[in-house]
């Protein structure tokens, strides 16, 4: 569920530890040492030496602060414009026809994808027994969820890296996005599991998400944001906290799908949130080293891509998703990112108003 730290980052942090050690050894080597003979009174420390010791201590403190900042990066929480966010509206059947061959081609070029898919395929034969699945839910959809939730390898991390950075253009997606079939199957699985397509009157499912390696901070309350990746969360707050506390999210989601019955780790009570769901920032605070973020779903999605594999180019505005009845909270007003409006928080409600002239 939480963000895995790839081996490359662990090595970099190890190198930083080594550098830190070398700096400290250098400081020790340059620190003057006073020798006191037995039976004599210790000499008074010269003022210049006291100043040098103070400067050394301050240098160490500054280095330690810089090290902590390096260890836990701070990232802005926004609309994630570079995310590949295709929801395949109106083309899911055609994509189903093409995805099987596409998956074979991608597995031929990605060993971990092939191994993970084949292992999940075998496990699915046992897992599917006794499950009541929605109409149209295929084996590939269930296998995709099992592949994603298998955190014993780094494939889920690689997928999310590709999702976060793969939305610059359709050309970039076609040339460099290595998980086109997996992205489609996983996105479609969440849509089918959340068959009612959002919230009706309730403000959304309450879930929690813990991140151990990054600090996420919104610019201000009332901002509209997307998580910009497939975001694991849990119905159980204690479970979410086990995955990290650098940033801890409390969310109400309308498009996150409960995948506990299909997950490799059902005890995590996971709800998987798609990259394109739009949230309102209703709370942000810092508790010591932790960032605490509260998000409420707008009951809307925002996708700049639609059917990209079939030729759809990236749009400046959002591709409209299925129309659903607006929940009573947090908003009774219409919401559209196409209108270029800024969301301003008001007590218990928010209103839409234009930004700038």
- List the catalytic residues: 209, 232, 270
Q: Which residues pair with 319 in a beta bridge?
A: 303
How many of the other CB atoms lie within 10 Å of CB of 324?
Answer: 15
Helix (H) / strand (E) element for 161: namely helix 155-165
Q: Which of 253, 234, 252 is nearest to 244 (CA)?
A: 234
Classify strands 247-253 and 257-258 as parallel, antiparallel or unpaired.
unpaired
At 282, list the tokens.
């209703």
Residue 290: Cβ-neighbour burial (10 angstroms; 0-12, 13-18, 19+): middle
Q: Which of 248, 250, 233 is nearest to 286 (CA)?
A: 248
E strand residue ranges, 20-148: 74-77
**Alpha-carbon separation of residue 191 from 89, 98, 241, 255, 256 (angstroms):** 10, 18, 27, 8, 9
Instruction: Determine the Cα–Cα distance for residues 203 and 282; give it in Å rounded to an integer.
Output: 13
């Amino acid at each position: 569920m939480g963000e895995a730290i790839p081996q490359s980052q662990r090595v970099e942090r190890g190198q930083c530890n080594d550098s830190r050690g070398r700096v400290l050894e250098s400081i020790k080597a340059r620190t003057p040492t006073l020798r006191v003979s037995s039976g004599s009174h210790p000499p008074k420390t010269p003022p210049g030496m006291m100043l040098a010791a103070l400067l050394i201590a301050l240098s160490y403190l500054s280095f330690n602060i810089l090290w902590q900042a390096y260890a836990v990066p701070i990232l802005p929480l926004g609309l994630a414009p570079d995310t590949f966010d295709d929801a395949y509206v109106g083309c899911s059947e055609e994509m189903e026809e093409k995805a099987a061959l596409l998956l074979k081609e991608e597995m031929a070029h990605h060993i971990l994808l092939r191994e993970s898919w084949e292992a999940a395929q075998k496990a699915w034969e046992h897992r599917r027994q006794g499950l009541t699945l929605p109409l149209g839910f295929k084996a590939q959809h269930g296998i995709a969820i099992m592949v994603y939730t298998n955190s014993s390898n780094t494939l889920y991390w690689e997928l999310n890296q590709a999702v976060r950075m793969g939305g610059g253009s359709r050309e970039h997606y076609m040339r460099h996005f290595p998980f086109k079939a997996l992205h489609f199957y996983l996105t479609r699985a969440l849509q089918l599991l959340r068959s009612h397509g959002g919230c009706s009157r309730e403000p959304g499912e309450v879930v929690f998400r813990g991140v151990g390696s990054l600090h996420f901070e919104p610019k201000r309350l009332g901002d509209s944001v997307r998580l910009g990746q497939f975001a694991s969360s849990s119905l159980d707050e204690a479970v979410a906290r086990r995955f990290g506390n650098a940033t801890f999210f409390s969310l109400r989601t309308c498009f996150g799908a409960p995948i506990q019955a299909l997950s490799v780790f059902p005890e995590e009570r996971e709800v998987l949130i798609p990259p394109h769901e739009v949230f309102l920032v209703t709370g942000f605070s810092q508790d010591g080293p932790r960032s605490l973020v509260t998000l409420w779903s707008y009951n809307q999605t925002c996708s700049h891509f639609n059917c990209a594999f079939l030729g759809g180019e990236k749009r400046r505005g959002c591709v409209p998703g299925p129309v659903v009845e607006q929940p009573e909270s947090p908003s009774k007003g219409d919401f559209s990112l196409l209108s270029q409006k800024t969301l301003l928080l008001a007590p218990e409600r928010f209103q839409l108003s234009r930004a700038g002239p």
